[in-house]
Amino acid sequence: MIGRRRRGREHALQMVFQWDLSKESFKKVRSSFWTLNDSNDSVDVQTKDFADHLTAGTVQHINQIDILLERHAEHWRIPRMSVVDRNIVRIATFELMFESETPKIVVINEALEIARKFSTSDSVQFINGILDSILKELNSLGSKNFE
């Protein structure tokens, strides 16, 4: 059985994907996403809150995240990346930068598992390389808060 936090990350990926393609506000994306998904399956409050937190945080900090992503995605411009891949990396980068509850290695492993489910085997290696590079940079900066 899939855990709440993994499920929350998967829902966040779907919302960030929708936001990325539609360019609608987080509020509008959230509303339409949960309207559709609450009718299809019941999502517990903790999972929903975690998904909303990841999505809102990723959208709020998208400029900082994309600057970091662009710097670490060698020879790749963000618009040329697969929509799924760039949004998996964006959400994980948000967690790496702004969250301390989940160990960093777990954040990366979760991103890789989600990539295995929603993307290609080549994407797993691509995402792992970017996130590993981002984590090394963040670690070199110490415990600096990015907010």
In CATH terms, the superfamily for domain 4-140 is NusB-like (1.10.940.10)
How confident is the model over 115-145, as pLDDT tens digits? 999 999 889 999 999 999 999 999 988 644 4
pTM, 2 dp: 0.91
Q: Please give the C-alpha separations between residue 94 and each of 32, 82, 122, 126, in angstroms, as whole numbers.
A: 23, 18, 22, 18
CA 29, CA 102: separation in Å to the nearest integer? 26
Q: What one-character DSSP code corresponds to residue 142? A: T
Between 47 and 37, residue with greater pLDDT: 47
Our measurement of the distance from residue 130's CA atom to the centroid of its chain's CA atoms, rounded to an integer in Å, reads 13
CA 61, CA 39: separation in Å to the nearest integer? 30
